[in-house]
Amino acid sequence: MEDYDIVLGARGDRRLMATDYIQRMIPDFMEFHGDRLYGDDRAVIAGIGTIGGLPVTVIGIEKGKTTAERIRRNFGSAHPEGYRKALRLMKQAAKFRRPVLCIVDTAGAFCGVDAEEHGQGRAIADNLWEMADLPTPILSLIIGEGGSGGALALCHSDRIWMLEDAYFSVVSPESCANILWKSTEKAAEAAKSLGLTAEKLHRAGLVDRICHGDERKKLAAEIAAELTRLRAVPQADLLEARYRRFRSVGC
């Protein structure tokens, strides 16, 4: 399969979405709303529950399946309020020494006047800043689209796992082709050059694990096992390892 086909497939509306994973893996999930600053962003679903018996805080970006749902979810593009809700609950997780699971599926952070004026850049920067020092394990799972800064805002983690048919990219292949070659028709070439597939990112050491289709049933147990392992690591070591993980990227 071509890299661009993976991108197109990752956008497919018949895929499992964040809520599907939450329902299957965290049957006792309780959703909590609001960023306590301005509003509640429906593109971000957040709350608590147990995964394989382990209490976790879950943050998911949800695109929605039906047209009505997609509109309500803003097609999975979060406003600053969504990132701030995520951050509020991540800090709460740290207070109770509860691991955090982020389920990422977004084309990118929302681009609009309100999003800008409510500080989209600042909201993402704050997540990176706080997650760098969040004293509890964080595992991010990319289930579809990992669109640039909007996805990265939930990926400053101890572990980044990707489904085999997901992608994670600095820019959408279409924008990349448009900016560099003034032609969206070269998107396939851009996709190939950007190195955005799970396989390529894993080979580059930027992603820790590829989750294959046939393993999905075991996914909850594996996430629980990994978070349990990480929870046993002394806090200072955990944060040092997280620092090193990103410190070593490039150069």
- Per CB under 8 A, residues contacting another protein are 109, 111-113, 115-122, 124-126, 128-129, 132-133, 148-149, 152-153, 155-156, 168-171, 176, 179-180, 189, 193-196, 201, 204, 206, 242-243, 246-247, 249-251
Q: Which two tokens stand for residue 197?
A: 């597939």
Pick the closer one to another protein by CB: 27 or 121: 121
Least gap, CB of 174 to another protein (angstroms): 12
Q: Which two tokens stand for residue 41?
A: 């962003």
Pick the closer one to another protein by CB: 16 or 128: 128
Least gap, CB of 88 to another protein (angstroms): 18
Number of Cβ within a 10 Å radius of residue 90: 23
Pick the closer one to another protein by CB: 203 or 218: 203
Contact in structure between 87 and 126 (CB atoms under 8 Å)? yes
Least gap, CB of 45 to another protein (angstroms): 22
Least gap, CB of 9 to another protein (angstroms): 19
Pick the closer one to another protein by CB: 64 or 173: 173
Q: Is 113 exposed, middle or buried (0-12, 13-18, 19+ CB in 10 A)?
A: exposed
Least gap, CB of 191 to another protein (angstroms): 10
Pick the closer one to another protein by CB: 33 or 200: 200
